Amino acid sequence: MTRRKGVSERLHSNCVGCPGADPDDKNGPDGPWLNDFETVNAIVRKFCSDFMQRLGEAIESDAPGAMDKLVSLTKADSDRMNQLFIGTGLPHSMPHTRGPWNTPKQLGRHIGIAMQIEGEQRHAVRDAFMITASEMKTLSEQHVEDPFEDWAWKLDGQVERLVYALLGRPFMDENEP
């Protein structure tokens, strides 16, 4: 199994089994609730899996500007996540139901505190996804020679940190004192 394929398989989620993933089985008036762990986890894992796939392709590409394209796509995807979770940014094609928590004053403020992000609350989700992508890229670079199984747990930690922040739950990293 190639390293990129292993990363992609570990992070991939097609949302099967997520509450409301079936358009005929909606949890809220507009689709699955964005306060449901399985739903948010699937969304974040899909974003991260797509990012790691694109990162691998950019690294292997000889095309000029491959990394610039990766950054542009990641910014656009992060902006779509901002729209999805708090309603500001590029439109998102996935129908979901936002609750009272999903506002810049609530979720945006919490993410700023939980992930130590300075910036506008209305862009906090976008910034959190960009930071997560950057941290995953750094992990990939730090462990370029290591078997994926030896550091995959670190990627999972990045995913969980973002999922818990989006849900307003405390994240406890078991590997920190």
Residue 174 lies in a domain: no
Nearest to 132 by CA among 163, 109, 107: 163
Residue 173 lies in a domain: no
> 13 lies in which domain range?
9-167
Residue 156 lies in a domain: yes
Please write the tens of the pLDDT for every residue from 23-66.
Answer: 444 466 667 888 889 999 999 999 999 999 999 999 898 789 99
pTM of the model: 0.80
Domain total in the chain? 1
Residue 65 lies in a domain: yes
Residue 176 lies in a domain: no
Helix (H, G, I), strand (E, B) or coil at 160: helix
Residue 72 lies in a domain: yes
Please write the tens of the pLDDT for every residue from 113-171.
Answer: 999 999 999 999 999 999 999 999 999 999 989 998 898 999 999 999 999 999 998 88
Residue 96 lies in a domain: yes
Residue 109 lies in a domain: yes
